[in-house]
A and B are shown apart, each in its own frame.
Chain A
């Protein structure tokens, strides 16, 4: 993780202030304004406890009997948000362990692996404890947050461990925090101190302060597609696309300066549109294509079945091709 830019923003005035605080602490022996600090800490503790009482009953364990992840209920009828990769084994039946230890059957809905988002529906009818969906627009680096989950899977006699930390970085589609999470926490909720759901546990780095959570806004954006069972995207941007991902059907050289077609997959949208080996793709719809990676990203951002147009260069001549994007699983 890159912390450089934090260092650069510390200006001279701040450094001076810190030094002064340091001196004051030494001189007084008891630190400056300890009463205020302690009052802050007490207020934080009270807030954390109040929030936990509200949100913990909505935290669940999700297992497919191969592995185990976590989840959080977001509607009274038992819609559960989890991490996309928790659903990767494509099991049709999942088991959810509720806050009180009761287990209920659930079925996976859709997932957007690009942002490691997943959705599950509890099959058994009932009124389930749930939490409100928040947003991360107002979240700032340094804000306090709470991560919960079932690390290592559900354990009898252990309530889901609570982790308290701060938002260390607002990255691309993630929040990076120092709420330490581990295997089995995936899919568990990240809350702000008001109990608003702001993220879903996703992955970790080598440092204990590097814990990544998919931002809740990404779930909101992918909501309808996930709810309808669509599964798309690529985990961490690598690996093959998920089954419903849009698929053009060309092989590209990632090191080449332009998006040059190395191979056209048989039966693909690329073949149907008339693409040939050696074609240079210059434009997809209204987007200029400068590199292979850009083409990959542009296709990944579209849905299977949508029409597309390409502007290409073949043997030095410009051409325009049209077609409809295919679905990854429909290709041999």
Chain B
């Protein structure tokens, strides 16, 4: 019995040791050999990094395709914090808060949740989870359904302000202060059911991971300037209206005559910067304005950690670059974002904005959320 259990545990053990870099790759019989191989002299390391730099990929290129987590199909054992006997303890808190929680569905599928922020029909949700969904319906805790309008979007915070027709909603009861490390938190749905609980892992901070500006084209050298060979979906290039076959001749005031010049010019910028791209299309000159996207540069070791970190979780499509987040360890699914994050007093300390990986979820602090709401409402007028 004992030996059988141990054998079963072995393959996973060897692969998933948790030091980052060298030992993540530790595998079966090659422990010592691999360990030695992986001590790369600094110059090789730099080269690897440079190759990686040179690629001008699409803005979201480092998000691997979603893999269904084993935890979707697994029932928690009675000793786990996710077991219903444990979660049930949080029910009174969630039941109290449920009038401020809405469910957003498309074709009968859960897309995200939303948090009521104003009595007169306004709610917030995670903007990027709405992408690609037509006819989103909003279900309230009383079972009523409404079709929401999108009033505004804050791409910095990935928050979308929606409005539905009722004028007698129950807005979130905001907490006056942000949770400190060790504060318990709970996330629930519009029926009053606790979905998952967690603890505050890190106090609020800036979470900016991307450090390289990205346009999102694959450029080809041509006789004069460079020609766009492909445009990445959802990239800054696509949003700016760049098309395959366009000839890029100038960016801002800089003439572009080679792929290197393009790459170097983009790299001078920060993610979020706006640039003017002068192009020729069908013999005519046009100027397109693009707001550069960003991506996270990871060295090969960080990359391997990033992959391990996904185990058991399904990260949100957008899980980084927020001006302010509270990090907590609640095991959320991406579609459970948009929910209010509640403290033990039943107050909303923030809005769940992303599942990062197996160890972390993020919420935007309550005061930041309220500022975003005011700004979006001002923009509307």
Contact = CB atoms under 8 A, between A and B. Distances in A.
A197 B19 CA distance: 20
A83 B17 contact: yes
A130 B360 CA distance: 26
A273 to B, nearest CB: 26
Nearest to A167: B79
Nearest to B76: A209
Interface in A39-56: 40-42, 44-45, 48-49, 52, 56
Contact of A239 (B28, B70, B206): B28
B198 interface: yes
Contacts of A167: 79
Interface string A127-171: 000000000000001100000000111000111011111111101
A200 B198 CA distance: 21
Chain B interface size, as a band, is 35 or more
A237 interface: yes
A204 interface: yes
Contacts of B274: none
Nearest to A173: B6
A233 B165 CA distance: 67
B89 A41 contact: yes
Contact of A88 (B6, B26, B79, B311): B26
A239 B10 CA distance: 11
A157 B206 contact: yes
A177 to B, nearest CB: 9
A126 interface: no
Interface string B58-98: 00000000000111001011111110011011111101000
A325 to B, nearest CB: 20
B297 interface: no
A317 interface: no
A16 interface: no
Contacts of A184: 18-20, 305
Contacts of A206: 12, 70, 311-312
A201 B28 CA distance: 20
A172 B3 CA distance: 10
B182 A52 contact: yes
A68 interface: yes
**Which one of B9, B12, B85 has the highest number of Cβ atoms from chain A below 10 Å of its Cβ?**
B9
B22 A240 contact: no
Interface string B298-336: 000110110011011100000000000001010100000
A23 to B, nearest CB: 13
**Which one of B17, B29, B205, B308 has the highest number of Cβ atoms from chain A below 10 Å of its Cβ?**
B17
A235 B359 contact: no
Contacts of A209: 71, 74, 76-77, 80, 82, 312
Contacts of B20: 67-69, 152-153, 183-184
Contacts of B81: 164-166, 178
B19 A86 contact: yes
A30 interface: yes
Nearest to B360: A161
Contact of B312 (A165, A169, A180): A180
A30 B92 contact: yes
Contact of B21 (A3, A18, A68): A68
Contacts of B36: 89-90
B183 interface: yes
A6 B92 contact: no
Given A151-B309, A161-B327, A182 B13 contact: no
Chain A interface size, as a band, is 35 or more
A166 B79 contact: yes
Contact of A85 (B26, B78, B95): B26
Given A206-B12, A236-B10, A238-B10, A164 B198 contact: yes
Nearest to B298: A152
Interface in B17-57: 17-24, 26, 28-32, 35-36, 38-40
B16 A235 contact: no
Contacts of A180: 312, 329, 331, 358-359
B240 interface: no
A67 to B, nearest CB: 2
A45 B77 CA distance: 23
B239 interface: no
A168 B77 contact: yes
B22 A88 contact: yes
Contacts of A2: 5, 8
Contact of B199 (A69, A163, A181): A163
A256 interface: no
B357 interface: yes
B13 A240 contact: no
Contact of A25 (B29, B88, B329): B88
B304 A183 contact: yes
Interface string A91-114: 100000000000000000000000
B2 A239 contact: no
Contacts of A158: 202, 205, 327
B79 A89 contact: no
A3 B8 CA distance: 13
A234 B360 CA distance: 31
Contacts of A67: 19-24, 301
Contact of A157 (B3, B205, B357): B205
Contacts of A208: 69, 71, 311-313, 331, 358
Interface string A12-54: 0000001000000100011100100110111011001100100
Given A66-B38, A69-B18, A31 B92 contact: yes
B202 A152 contact: no
A88 B35 contact: yes
B313 to A, nearest CB: 6
Nearest to B38: A66
A192 interface: no
A98 B155 CA distance: 36
A116 B17 CA distance: 9
Given A184-B18, A205-B16, 6 more contacts: A48-B199, A69-B19, A85-B23, A86-B23, A166-B80, A209-B82
7 contacts: A38-B92, A41-B184, A67-B301, A89-B38, A153-B20, A161-B202, A203-B18
